Amino acid sequence: MNISINEATKLAEDYVRRSAEAAHDSYKIVEAQTRTCASGWLFFFNSTEFLDTGEPTSALAGNGPIFVSTKGVLKQLSSAIPWENQIDC
């Protein structure tokens, strides 16, 4: 059974929230950059402070996007390899 974009978004948001809590920080998904693919959705995120202020020193480094498949499988993609080379979208 396939999941909806709302369910995929919740999975990605939960993952981002847990990652931020582990780092004692606050992160948000950049909704305007979310991509829909045939096999799922791609979510980009950054620190809340960077997204609110644009201050470059507040930006995350090394945070690859999150892919959630239509089957509900979440995968954190590498930031070292273009996402286009990691998933079909």
The C-alpha atoms of residue 85 and residue 75 are separated, in whole angstroms, by 14
Report percent pLDDT > 90 for the chain.
Answer: 97
Q: What is the pTM of this model?
A: 0.92
Provide DSSP, 53-68.
H--GGGS-SS---EEE
Paired residues of 64 in beta bridges: none
- Provide the mean pLDDT of the chain: 96
**38-69 tens-digit pLDDT:** 999 999 999 999 999 999 999 999 999 999 99
Average pLDDT over residues 23-50: 97
Query: Closest by alpha carbon to 74, among 84, 64, 82, 61?
Result: 64
| Phi, psi of 82, rounded to the nearest 5 degrees | -55, 135
Task: Please name which of 83, 66, 59, 89 lies closest in space to residue 11, comparing C-alpha atoms.
Answer: 66
